[in-house]
Amino acid sequence: MIKINVDMNKCQHYGQCVFEAPNIFKLNEDDKLEYVATADDSELGNIEAAIDVCPMQAIFIVD
């Protein structure tokens, strides 16, 4: 399992991560980011892509 953390103090809710990893990240009805804190290993490529496109660099994989 992959553990994910988003620094919500940095996140500006641009939603770029949603396009890269829609099973992990979503924008709610208030356009605020929501995410699951753990994901299956098969999502690693999508999560890494989401990390790369985040303009605020707010997404991290936790060891």
Question: For 31-59, what is the mean pLDDT?
Answer: 97
| pTM for the predicted model, two decimal places | 0.93
Cα–Cα distances in angstroms (integers) from residue 20 to residues 31, 43, 57, in the given order: 17, 10, 14
Predicted confidence at residue 63, as pLDDT, reads 86
Per-residue DSSP letter, 56: T
pLDDT of 34 > 90? The answer is: yes
- 13-23 pLDDT tens trace: 999 999 999 99
CA distance 19 to 21: 6
Mean pLDDT (the chain) is 97
pLDDT of 6 > 90? The answer is: yes
User: In the block, which residue shows the tokens 């997404």?
Assistant: 59
Structural domains in the chain, sorted by start:
2-62 (3.30.70.20)
